[in-house]
A and B are shown apart, each in its own frame.
Chain A
Amino acid sequence: MPGGQNEHIVGTSTPRKEGRDKVTGSARYIDDLSFPHMLYGATVRSRIPRGKIKKINFGSGIAWSEYVIVSAKDIPGKNYITLIETDQPCLADGVVNHPEEAILLLAHPDRHALAKAAAAVEIEYELLPAVFTIEESERGDRIIWGKDNTFKSYRIEKGDVDSVWTKADYIIEGEYFTGAQEQLYIETNGVIAAFDAEKGITIWGSLQCPYYAHKALVAVCGLPEDKVRVVQTETGGAFGGKEEYPSMIAAHAALLAMKAGQPVKIVYDRAEDMAATTKRHPSRTRHRTAVGKDGKILGGEIEIVMDGGAYVTLSPVVLSRATIHAGGPYYWPNVRVRTKAVATNTPPHGAFRGFGAPQALFAIERHMDKIARTVGMSPAEIRRRNFVRQGQTTITEQEIREPIDLAKLLDRALELADYDAKKRRFAETNKHGVRRKGTGLAAFLHGAGFTGSGERYLASVVGVEGRADGGVRVLVSSTEFGQGTNTVLCQIAAEALGLPYEDVTIAQPDTMVVPNSGPTVASRTAMVVGKLVASAARGLKQTLIAAGLLRETCTAEEFRAACREYVAAHGEFRSLAKYESPEGIYWDDVKYRGEAYATYSWAVYVAEVTADLTTYSATVDDFVALQEIGRVMNPVLARGQILGGVAQGIGFALYEKVEWRDGRMANNQMTNYIMPTSADLPAIRVYFEELGNIHGAFGAKGIGELPMDGPAPAIVNAIEDALGIPFNRVPLLPEDIFAAVERESSLAGAR
């Protein structure tokens, strides 16, 4: 079913395009770059969660005339960061709405002098009452945003939910919570800005979406589009944390550069990056489900509330994805989904791999285990009975048209995990000793690409260019940050043209050079952008055929010769491909009904854990990750994506907790925000299936975010299996397990 048997490059592990520079240490990240007459920039940030700025004092002992100082009144354009709404200021102007909100910018040639000056700015505030949690926000007795603290809400109605309760044999309720999570890319946020009265503003930076930054800079700098240029430098990890946030740091550097007339570099240290930039949205999900005696879901109500932080930023889109994934990979004949994103006085939450789906899927997958226990069926059986099948519809009434067999996928995952044998063995060994073992599973899906009409709205454009030496160059704004963009897109172009992989290069994403192929998010790059690359590549070939220099069937050498000849005669030439919405895709943005995504990837994950009752810590001993992703474009890269995503999912489940103190991240150091080391992770076992995908290049679906969705529920399901105690919150730390064990034993003692 996938692509075909004739591919030589797609489906093989071609080496990472920019890999050699990375392993020799010659790859240049933003902090490795330095420009003549460059200044360093720093940000003075709010120390309070909410209030009015009364006075700004510039302390003694600093030669302030040496510094470039920028405040809101220096902004030549608009004082907001363009995204969905315009409520987030670039620099606070009189009021602050979260700790770490940017108020002033400083620049100086000496990094150390700069740090001293930033520490010497003292700001007097009039404190206003603040809101820190979902509960506080939705209570509505303290309004901090809009009329009722609500950024956005959605409602999905399918069938007739109100009629199911009387028919139910069981009504099962549950409440599930997920906490904030820090992306923790090992390279912090950084940019360099340069301003020239004629050329305008140029930004180099660690970022995912050059055109997002471009749009934001046009607004803040008050410059025309052709006077703003954004260049992505080698980026050391992103995971969504560099999707929208770089627009802010780029705007800051640009403002300093414009005022200083010199280039300005801003690179955050780890403490600032952790405290001031975006995190995964915390969430609370409530399920109420009507289930029949046979374990089948008759219908249900699902309510999700997400904490968006102080400004709207991307919350409507994160919420959208959570909403659409709320039902998991199951068939719901009747369902009502009500979701909202609310404001709190914390730094705005933003994109992080999964983007709402991990939160929603944690809830439904924990809830399915609860349903299983209530009904008296195994976790596997309850899922088999409810999996959505080809021909059935999702909660948005999207028909599943591909022959996905989730029951079979589940069976394969269980076999790979040796699930049944382990369950029997653990039941025995758990009778004695302090180390209790358990297994747990999670079944899930992840929609690839932008929701509904999103891809049409993005109207992505891709170019492939013929080079003088006969090779070709891919032109996209899609960025590489470890996930393999450069490699996979070059593989696709090479395959489409019958060229060796080595003959294809890819341009550094530079808004002056590449067209806008959309943001590098939403697991869309291989699938959507890749398909356009293949199109554009074929278009390039057509140009040579039309010029009489090439036949349809040709060798690589013939292509190169034709290309060289064409370039010699006409100069470098390119072919562009623009996204066209597939036929028969229908999406209602008001009713939230229809084809939410062009396609879904599917997965079943199985976790084996040990819960140690001496230390109350849970560790993952074995992990099976089985997924159907359309087409494995590059086996080493694909496996790498799943391994890394599962590791982050394990962190989300068991280790990574943001400690909030009055809206500020108090544990903003790597010492105290715990991500897993190599000593904490098991050998994660990765397996793929391929059903192909008519909407994706060579059958590709999305892979980047999928692995984030499964680990947390699989692990918490396993811990419940080990200890017999239900946990409904991640991260689940030893302290939480201890508190529950203590509660259970005192309850047992009381009986």
Chain B
Amino acid sequence: MKSDPADYGFAVAANLQDAVKLLAEEPKRWLLIAGATDVMVQYAAGTLGARKLLSIWNLPELRQIEVLPGELRIGAGCTYTDLQGGGVVAGEFPLLARAASWTGGIANQNRGTLGGNIANASPAADSLPALLVYDAELILVSVRGERRVAYGDFHTGYKQMNLAADELIRAICLPRKFAGYVSYGRKVGARNAQAISKVCIAAVGQSERDVVREVRIALGSVAQAPIRLGETERAIVGKRLDADVRELARKTAVSETRPIDDIRSTAKYRAAVVGNLVGEFLDRLAGGESSGE
């Protein structure tokens, strides 16, 4: 353990209002922590830059799941465990529930939060591709009020976000329009549990007799942030999923990614796996099965 606890300021927000007030008073001074599963690893390794931590763990305003007629509103403080195990998340947004089960072990899932995962903005985060395909919107809150941002516009670069210094993520909103979609999600890591992903895919779509009606594909770990394969989607929508179209999809998907060589894997491997996973999704889409992997 390389850090000295005595060097860190620590405040516990009494409620959401308390938290945004402090952020407004001292913008950029406080690092928000909820379940702290990412922050504490950096802390132990001696690489945590922040010196003042504001805990928003378990604030009731942030830990609700509200089921509204048109959308599901997930509090940013909901843990991965909160996202699993039946309910609307598992029923209507299976890729998110499944991704939540991939992240770390059960002990990590009991603490890691969806808001924390978004704010930490690791390109390898498991839940984020699912949010992209489900057209998630974030509700950001500060003393100045609330605003909604399409999640697809939220990440602007590696660990760069459309999030002001005095804002925090309050909720993640998912439009309830994906019933009956074919869905497909897969994480490729170094082992079956507790692995950082090398490639991660979330995809949904609808087809009618082999013709693609609608398709959304998102990937993690192959760019600076999780990405939607917009070009690939446009290339195949309205087309029949014959061998040529599948090959086009595979090639376009790979061209949209920027995989790297790092300590975990190689760019070439990631690119090849991207192509294979997209192919596997299209097999499922053509087959018309509605359940995921």
Instruction: List residues of A whose CB falls within 8 A of some B CB.
Output: 111-113, 115-116, 119, 269, 271, 434, 613-617, 619, 655, 659, 666-667, 669, 671-672, 674, 676-680, 733-735, 738-739, 742
Known A-B contacts A112-B5, A269-B1; the reply to A671 vs B191 at CB < 8 A is: no
Taken together as a complex, chains A and B put the C-alpha atoms of A617 and B273 apart, in Å, by 11
Q: Are B190 and A674 in contact (CB under 8 A)?
A: yes
- Measured CB to CB, the closest approach of chain B to A735, in angstroms, equals 4
Q: Which residue of B lies closest to A738 (CB)?
A: B269
Q: Are B263 and A672 in contact (CB under 8 A)?
A: yes
Q: Are B193 and A674 in contact (CB under 8 A)?
A: no
Known A-B contacts A614-B277, A679-B191, A735-B266; the reply to A671 vs B196 at CB < 8 A is: yes
Give every chain A residue within 8 A of B264 (Cβ-Cβ). Answer: 672
Give every chain A residue within 8 A of B64 (Cβ-Cβ). Answer: none
- Measured CB to CB, the closest approach of chain A to B221, in angstroms, equals 13
Known A-B contacts A680-B192, A735-B265; the reply to A614 vs B273 at CB < 8 A is: yes
B159-193 near A? 1/0 per residue, CB < 8 Å: 00000000000000000000000000000101111
Give every chain B residue within 8 A of A271 (Cβ-Cβ). Answer: 45
Q: Are A679 and B269 in contact (CB under 8 A)?
A: no
B257-293 near A? 1/0 per residue, CB < 8 Å: 0000001111011001100110110000000000000
Give every chain B residue within 8 A of A669 (Cβ-Cβ). Answer: 45
Q: Are A739 and B268 in contact (CB under 8 A)?
A: yes
Instruction: List residues of B whose CB falls within 8 A of some A CB.
Output: 1-6, 41, 45-46, 188, 190-196, 198, 263-266, 268-269, 272-273, 276-277, 279-280
Known A-B contacts A613-B276, A616-B269; the reply to A659 vs B263 at CB < 8 A is: yes
Taken together as a complex, chains A and B put the C-alpha atoms of A119 and B45 apart, in Å, by 12
Of B4, B45, B188, B269, which contacts A116 at CB under 8 A?
Answer: B4
Of B1, B4, B193, which contacts A679 at CB under 8 A?
Answer: B193
Q: Are A676 and B280 in contact (CB under 8 A)?
A: no
Taken together as a complex, chains A and B put the C-alpha atoms of A316 and B242 apart, in Å, by 62
**B-side binding surface: helix, strand, loop or mixed?**
loop
Taken together as a complex, chains A and B put the C-alpha atoms of A678 and B106 apart, in Å, by 13
Taken together as a complex, chains A and B put the C-alpha atoms of A119 and B2 apart, in Å, by 9
Q: Are A680 and B6 in contact (CB under 8 A)?
A: no
- Measured CB to CB, the closest approach of chain A to B38, in angstroms, equals 11
Q: Which residue of A lies closest to B4 (CB)?
A: A112
Q: Which residue of A lies closest to B41 (CB)?
A: A671
Q: Are A677 and B194 in contact (CB under 8 A)?
A: yes
Taken together as a complex, chains A and B put the C-alpha atoms of A434 and B3 apart, in Å, by 47
- Measured CB to CB, the closest approach of chain A to B127, in angstroms, equals 18
- Measured CB to CB, the closest approach of chain A to B257, in angstroms, equals 16
Taken together as a complex, chains A and B put the C-alpha atoms of A738 and B276 apart, in Å, by 12
Q: Are A655 and B191 in contact (CB under 8 A)?
A: yes
Q: Are B191 and A676 in contact (CB under 8 A)?
A: yes
Taken together as a complex, chains A and B put the C-alpha atoms of A401 and B277 apart, in Å, by 56
Q: Are A677 and B263 in contact (CB under 8 A)?
A: no
Give every chain A residue within 8 A of B266 (Cβ-Cβ). Answer: 735
Q: Are A735 and B196 in contact (CB under 8 A)?
A: no
Known A-B contacts A115-B1, A666-B263, A672-B264; the reply to A734 vs B269 at CB < 8 A is: yes
- Measured CB to CB, the closest approach of chain B to A432, in angstroms, equals 13
- Measured CB to CB, the closest approach of chain A to B92, in angstroms, equals 27
| Cβ-closest 6 pairs across A and B | A112-B4, A679-B193, A679-B192, A614-B276, A674-B190, A735-B269
A-B contact pairs, 21 of them (CB 8 A): A112-B3, A112-B4, A115-B2, A269-B2, A614-B273, A614-B277, A614-B279, A616-B269, A655-B190, A667-B263, A672-B263, A674-B191, A674-B195, A677-B193, A680-B193, A734-B188, A734-B198, A735-B269, A738-B272, A738-B273, A739-B269
Q: Are B269 and A113 in contact (CB under 8 A)?
A: no
Give every chain A residue within 8 A of B265 (Cβ-Cβ). Answer: 735
Taken together as a complex, chains A and B put the C-alpha atoms of A667 and B190 apart, in Å, by 13
Taken together as a complex, chains A and B put the C-alpha atoms of A100 and B269 apart, in Å, by 32
Taken together as a complex, chains A and B put the C-alpha atoms of A334 and B213 apart, in Å, by 70
- Measured CB to CB, the closest approach of chain B to A669, in angstroms, equals 8
Q: A738-B269, A742-B272 are in contact. List 16 more A-B contacts (CB 8 A).
A: A113-B4, A116-B4, A269-B1, A269-B2, A434-B276, A614-B276, A616-B273, A617-B188, A655-B190, A672-B263, A676-B191, A679-B191, A734-B188, A734-B198, A735-B266, A739-B268
Taken together as a complex, chains A and B put the C-alpha atoms of A734 and B196 apart, in Å, by 15
Q: Which residue of A lies closest to B188 (CB)?
A: A615
Give every chain A residue within 8 A of B1 (Cβ-Cβ). Answer: 111, 115, 269
Q: Are A112 and B6 in contact (CB under 8 A)?
A: yes
Q: Are B192 and A677 in contact (CB under 8 A)?
A: yes
Give every chain B residue within 8 A of A269 (Cβ-Cβ). Answer: 1-2
Give every chain A residue within 8 A of B188 (Cβ-Cβ). Answer: 615, 617, 734
Give every chain B residue within 8 A of A655 (Cβ-Cβ). Answer: 190-191
Q: Are B272 and A680 in contact (CB under 8 A)?
A: no
- Measured CB to CB, the closest approach of chain B to A418, in angstroms, equals 24
- Measured CB to CB, the closest approach of chain B to A14, in angstroms, equals 33
Q: Are B191 and A677 in contact (CB under 8 A)?
A: yes
Q: Which residue of B lies closest to A271 (CB)?
A: B45
Give every chain B residue within 8 A of A113 (Cβ-Cβ). Answer: 4
Taken together as a complex, chains A and B put the C-alpha atoms of A742 and B194 apart, in Å, by 28
Q: Are B193 and A119 in contact (CB under 8 A)?
A: no
Taken together as a complex, chains A and B put the C-alpha atoms of A406 and B279 apart, in Å, by 47
Taken together as a complex, chains A and B put the C-alpha atoms of A680 and B188 apart, in Å, by 13
Taken together as a complex, chains A and B put the C-alpha atoms of A95 and B282 apart, in Å, by 60
Give every chain A residue within 8 A of B198 (Cβ-Cβ). Answer: 734
- Measured CB to CB, the closest approach of chain A to B262, in angstroms, equals 10
Give every chain B residue within 8 A of A616 (Cβ-Cβ). Answer: 269, 272-273
Q: Which residue of A lies closest to B265 (CB)?
A: A735
Taken together as a complex, chains A and B put the C-alpha atoms of A65 and B4 apart, in Å, by 20
Taken together as a complex, chains A and B put the C-alpha atoms of A349 and B263 apart, in Å, by 22
Give every chain B residue within 8 A of A738 (Cβ-Cβ). Answer: 268-269, 272-273
Give every chain A residue within 8 A of B196 (Cβ-Cβ). Answer: 671-672
- Measured CB to CB, the closest approach of chain A to B272, in angstroms, equals 6
Q: Which residue of A lies closest to B273 (CB)?
A: A615
Give every chain B residue within 8 A of A735 (Cβ-Cβ). Answer: 265-266, 269
Q: Which residue of B lies closest to A737 (CB)?
A: B269
Give every chain B residue within 8 A of A733 (Cβ-Cβ). Answer: 190
Taken together as a complex, chains A and B put the C-alpha atoms of A504 and B283 apart, in Å, by 65
- Measured CB to CB, the closest approach of chain A to B4, in angstroms, equals 4
Taken together as a complex, chains A and B put the C-alpha atoms of A227 and B5 apart, in Å, by 40
Taken together as a complex, chains A and B put the C-alpha atoms of A614 and B280 apart, in Å, by 8
Taken together as a complex, chains A and B put the C-alpha atoms of A672 and B262 apart, in Å, by 11
Q: Are A115 and B4 in contact (CB under 8 A)?
A: yes
